Amino acid sequence: MTTPAELLRSFARTRASLDGEEVTYWWSGDVYSWAPDEPYQRVFGFEGLNVSRLVQDAEAGPDAYRLLTREAAFYLDPATREILETWQDLPV
């Protein structure tokens, strides 16, 4: 990989499929709060989903791509893992 086109193609492959097929990413985890001299506290869960596809951008040139993507992410109750509609800060 030495040319800009090769580098772009390699980078595009890390994010999508070069054949135009949809690629789905999903992630899950927790968000923690932290303050000096205090332990970490789990505040809420977090889950997300991304669907994307890569298409060549003929207007921009033969080595150009356009990434089409949609994403949704949700904050979750840390105990029940249900989607939060509101959230109140932890008491100080």
pTM metric for this prediction: 0.68
Q: Give every CB contact of residue 56 below 8 A, 6+ residues apart in sequence.
A: 62, 64, 65, 66
Is residue 90 assigned to a domain? Answer: no
Domains in the chain: how many in total? 1
Tens digits of residue pLDDT in 20-59: 899 999 999 999 999 999 999 999 999 999 999 999 888 8
| pLDDT exceeds 70 at position 3 | yes
Among 55-64, 70-79, 80-89, name the most confident range.
Answer: 70-79
| Average pLDDT, rounded, for the chain | 90
pLDDT at 57: 87
The mean pLDDT value for 67-85 works out to 94
**Structural domain that includes position 64:** 4-76
pLDDT at 90: 60
Is residue 56 assigned to a domain? Answer: yes
Closest among 75, 72, 11, 13 to 44, alpha carbons compared: 75
